[in-house]
Amino acid sequence: MRGFCDCCRSAGGGTAYTPSDVSVAMVLVAREAALSTIDPRRCHPLVCDLASADDLPAVLAEHIDPADARLITFFGMIPNFEPQLILPRLAGLLRPSDYLLFWPTWLRVLIILRGAAHFAAL
């Protein structure tokens, strides 16, 4: 985590971070880890259940300028969800300038997609 935050900071601009999980404890641990490199005013912890969070795009938009690109990560989570449920939800989060990194462990390949159009092409 720390290496990722350092990389974002060295790229310039104002890096924001939204750790999210269904577990309050996990979100707080992720927030604490990030605070060594992320301005606390730009760290927006979010406890949510991806399977039922219908307002997630709007909630995320509250903290991030629409002109800013976002990097959304989804590592090791695919086995926890039915693909027909989670893949449309992930696609619904993406704006044209966003990136999605996800790693279906069974595939053993890191997938990087830019914007909803690339996601839909899968």
Instruction: Report yes or no on whether pTM surpasses 0.75.
Output: no
Q: Which residue has the tokens 């991030």?
A: 64
DSSP letters of 54-122? TTHHHHHHTTS-TTS--EEEEES-GGGS-HHHHHHHHHHH--TT-EEEEE-TTTT--EEEEHHHHHHT-
The domain ranges of the chain are 69-122
- Of 116 and 102, the structure prediction assigns the larger pLDDT to 102
Looking at residues 45-66, what average pLDDT do you find? 87
Query: pLDDT digits over 84-110, tens only?
Result: 888 888 888 888 888 888 776 655 666
The C-alpha atoms of residue 81 and residue 30 are separated, in whole angstroms, by 22
